[in-house]
Structure 1
Amino acid sequence: MTHDCVIIGGGPAGLNAALVLGRARKSVVVIDEGRARNRVTRETHGFLTRDSISPSEFRRIAKEQISAYHSVTFAEDTAISITGTDGDFHIKTVQGQTFQSKKVLFAIGMKDLPLDIKGLTDVYGKSAFICPYCDGWELRDQPLVVIVKGADATHMARVLSGWTKKITICTNGSDDLTDAQREELNQHNIPVYDSPIQSIESDNGMVQQVVLKDGISIVCTGIFFRPKLMIGSDLPQALGCEFTETGTVIIDNLGKTNVPGVYSAGDATTHLHQAIIAASMGSLAGVGINNELNEEAWRNI
């Protein structure tokens, strides 16, 4: 069977694209390994009507609603190779399945590289976060440590200042700050420590203090940090998709890449990593794919 579209990735972007295409009466397979990046966190925030929902419950409800459109199916599997061209793609999986499809949507997201600070894994998603818009409200008016350096330090301080004034910057080594940036932070009474971090101490996932190698301990109840990321799959590169200098897939307004028949959406295409943004991009990609399929069918009659 040749499907209209295979969606690789079942997060908000892939699921919303599947919903749009299912409602457009297109045959779709969503391939997802079931290991969402946000599985480490307890709640998803900032998504209208779903604020504070757990990531697993979000996906359960989404799949339940999408199941009303019988042309959409799900495969809990991992895509490992893709060949072919527009109208005739072949996707192979770890479990030995092969799917044939006219179009492909990469909703593969990003993956966290190993966290190299002792104790950070224990608090990640519980009291250490990466997005103030996703988790700033829960840490309002609390003492926070922000693990960043250079221009990111002043940027994060400005953003977080709307939630709390109790901010300490830890650069975990050379601060990479200019004199002007140091002065800006000093004017706002934000201390900066450039000693490497020895460990993060916590209790049941809740941070208690950040211990530096020079012996200083910084008491805090929350952390924000800049993660190290890699794209969720190398398949877009294998197909010849173009990337930005910062490692995101280049797409147009409807998610189309430079490769005919290939689309992408969500965190793999933007640095704005919020569930609602990923879902909206998936919706637009679904529209783009549906329009292209309809136009091709129209011309072929």
Structure 2
Amino acid sequence: MNKVDVAIIGGGPAGLSAGLMLGRARKQTIVIDEGRPRNAVTREAHGFLTRDGISPSEFRRIAKEQLRAYPSVSQVEDTVVSITREDGSFLLKTAAGMKIASKKLLFAAGMKDRKLGIPGLAEVYGKSAFVCPYCDGWELREEPLVVISRGNALMHFAPLLSGWTKRFTVCTNGPDELSEAERNDLRDHHIPLFDTPIRAILSYEGMVSHVLLEDGTEIPCTGIFFKSELVPGTDLPQSLGCRLSETGVIAVDEFGKSSVPGVYAAGDMSSRMHQSIAAAASGAAAAAAINGELNQEAWKQTP
């Protein structure tokens, strides 16, 4: 049985940032990551000060290397399959058979994409089709784009994207779920709207050229933004009784503390702000809170 102060489930920016903070705080910490990051399809990560344009794989390589400077932090590539509570500790079992007893838990496993569903979208995802204009809007500024979205999400996204380009067409891939007032709003801003289902995304070597609709309409574009369907990277927090927010992420306070004592969450699991720099910041904040809680508990036990 491996005994640690903190078990971090997930080794993306949130989990690695937390591991760094806890290593520097001299806490026995284990970072468990399955090695299948959602942003593996992405060529470059943006908006992270001093790391703008870095590849996600290089970001993780540097972060893991820096963690090795702290002997209290271990890193394993594995998947946690169950967690139970016993005698004040969390007992973790992994797919490889490892057993871990931890005083605190930090969930930082991020989110996963549901199957994309549109033929050709997987081939361009991360190359010329993206989900976040803060991450990739600069590279597509003033370009002719297609937005694949509908309903409330679309009416939030369209004004946002207009800061980078006003040359975009909306494809809702079926019923648009808009009111007539919302349709008029798009028309007033000269944004074409198509609700015909999408037959395929046409591309060459990952670069989109057209969106082909079922009625034969071809919409030329150099990039796509789309609303992805996400699910949590793990459902273990729910098994422990963690409360979820209305948006489906783990409900936490400003320091990442969940509704279950001793359980924290950071990064995409606790926020809809899906950016590397935001995830890293929340991981650091959660680690500081966990360290403070551990130190307070130790202080009270010392005569």
For normalisation by structure 2, the TM-score amounts to: 0.97
Look up the SS of the partner of 2:22 in the other structure.
helix
Tell me by how many angstroms 1:67 deviates: 1.2
Q: Which amino acid aligns with 1:7?
A: I
Instruction: Return the alpha-carbon distance in structure 1 between the equivalents of residues 153 and 136 of structure 2.
Output: 18
Alpha carbons 1:86, 1:261 under 8 Å: kept: no
Q: Which moved more, 1:14-23 or 1:86-95?
A: 86-95
Equivalent residue for 1:4? 5
Equivalent residue for 1:71? 72
Tell me by how many angstroms 1:86 deviates: 7.7
Are 1:300 and 2:293 counterparts? no
Equivalent residue for 2:269? 268
Equivalent residue for 2:199? 198
Equivalent residue for 2:23? 22
Q: Pairwise mapping of residues 90-129 of structure 1 onto structure 2 (< 5 A)?
A: 90-129=91-130
How much is the aligned-residue C-alpha RMSD, in angstroms? 1.0
Instruction: Return the alpha-carbon distance in structure 1 between the equivalents of residues 268 and 21 of structure 2.
Output: 19
Q: Pairwise mapping of residues 1-301 of structure 1 onto structure 2 (< 5 A)?
A: 1-85=2-86, 87-301=88-302
Q: Which amino acid aligns with 1:96?
A: G
Q: Which amino acid aligns with 2:4?
A: H
Tell me by how many angstroms 1:284 deviates: 0.6
Tell me by how many angstroms 1:155 deviates: 2.0
Instruction: Return the alpha-carbon distance in structure 1 between the equivalents of residues 301 and 279 of structure 2.
Output: 33
Instruction: Return the alpha-carbon distance in structure 2 between the equivalents of residues 187 and 85 of structure 1.
Output: 61
Look up the SS of the partner of 2:228 in the other structure.
coil
Q: Which amino acid aligns with 1:63?
A: K
Instruction: Return the alpha-carbon distance in structure 2 between the equivalents of residues 110 and 230 of structure 1.
Output: 6
Instruction: List alignment gaps of at least 5 residues for structure 1.
Output: none
Deviations 1:222-242 (A, max 9, x none): 000000110000110111111
Instruction: Return the alpha-carbon distance in structure 2 between the equivalents of residues 158 and 228 of structure 1.
Output: 21
Deviations 1:40-96 (A, max 9, x none): 110111000000100000001011111111110101101100111584111110101
Residues paired across the two proteins, number: 301
Look up the SS of the partner of 2:174 in the other structure.
coil
Deviations 1:144-163 (A, max 9, x none): 00001122223222111111
Instruction: Return the alpha-carbon distance in structure 2 between the equivalents of residues 39 and 87 of structure 1.
Output: 37
Tell me by how many angstroms 1:269 deviates: 0.8
Q: Which amino acid aligns with 1:16?
A: S
Instruction: Return the alpha-carbon distance in structure 1 between the equivalents of residues 163 and 133 of structure 2.
Output: 10
Alpha carbons 1:85, 1:261 under 8 Å: kept: no
Deviations 1:230-272 (A, max 9, x none): 0000110111111113210011111111111111111011111
Q: Which amino acid aligns with 1:169?
A: V
Alpha carbons 1:87, 1:261 under 8 Å: kept: no
Q: State the identity %.
A: 60
Deviations 1:195-238 (A, max 9, x none): 00010000011001000011110000100000011000011011
Kindly tell me: are residues 285 and 86 of structure 1, through their superposed partners in 2, closer, same or farther at Cα, counting changes over 3 Å? Answer: farther
Instruction: Return the alpha-carbon distance in structure 2 between the equivalents of residues 151 and 111 of structure 1.
Output: 22
Instruction: Return the alpha-carbon distance in structure 1 between the equivalents of residues 178 and 91 of structure 2.
Output: 49
Kindly tell me: are residues 28 and 193 of structure 1, through their superposed partners in 2, closer, same or farther at Cα, counting changes over 3 Å? Answer: same
Look up the SS of the partner of 1:157 in the other structure.
helix
Instruction: List alignment gaps of at least 5 residues for structure 2.
Output: none
Q: Which amino acid aligns with 1:251?
A: V
Q: Which amino acid aligns with 1:252?
A: D
Q: Which moved more, 1:291-300 or 1:235-244?
A: 235-244
Q: Which amino acid aligns with 1:104?
A: L
Tell me by how many angstroms 1:294 deviates: 0.1
